[in-house]
């Protein structure tokens, strides 16, 4: 007699598939695929303020005309992202995705997803702000 029944094999396969689906959902979340976060290529992303992995991340449109004014994608307005109060330099790509100095070669769909990815990459380290541009 076999050591495993058909019912046990199907149960094990279903459990493995559920586990893989959960891992895929977590990865999609980290990559910026949250349905509520999806922004159209020309749309201005929503503001956010949350604690993610113990770090406070905030993002909002920036209308101050400062350093990020040309990077926000719309009518001179930029977008500002902060991690624990320190500014994360971000930039919007032509295809509507976002990059930062931390994830420069890994675009994300939204600034929220970008901030979350930066928190993961920082691994608890403090974000060191970039110096202001030379005038």
Q: How confident is the chain (135 residues) per 10-residue block, as mean pLDDT?
A: 76 73 55 47 84 97 59 58 94 95 94 97 89 77
**What was the pLDDT predicted at 77?**
53
Domain spans of the chain, in order of start: 31-122
Please provide the DSSP assignment of 90-135 as one string. EEE-TTS-EEESSSTTS-BSSHHHHHHHHHHHHTTPPP-PPPPPP-
How far apart CA 91 and CA 105 sit, in angstroms, is 12
How far apart CA 115 and CA 51 sit, in angstroms, is 11
**What was the pLDDT predicted at 43?**
73
Q: What CATH fold (topology level) applies to the domain 31-122?
A: protein ne1242 fold (3.30.1880)
**What was the pLDDT predicted at 93?**
95
Residue 80's nearest CA partner among 54, 106, 55, 114 is 114
């Amino acid at each position: 007699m076999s050591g495993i029944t058909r019912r046990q094999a199907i149960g094990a396969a279903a459990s493995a598939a559920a586990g893989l689906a959960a891992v895929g959902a977590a990865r999609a979340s980290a990559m910026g695929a949250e349905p509520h976060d999806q922004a159209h290529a020309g749309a201005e992303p929503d503001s956010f303020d949350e604690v993610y992995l113990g770090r406070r991340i905030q993002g909002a449109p920036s209308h101050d005309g400062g350093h990020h004014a040309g990077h926000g994608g719309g009518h001179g307005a930029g977008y500002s992202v902060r991690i624990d109060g320190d500014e994360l330099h971000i930039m919007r790509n032509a295809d509507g995705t976002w990059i930062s100095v931390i994830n420069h070669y890994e675009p994300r769909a939204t600034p929220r997803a970008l901030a979350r990815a930066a928190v993961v990459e920082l691994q608890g380290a403090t974000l060191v702000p970039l110096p202001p541009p030379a005038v």
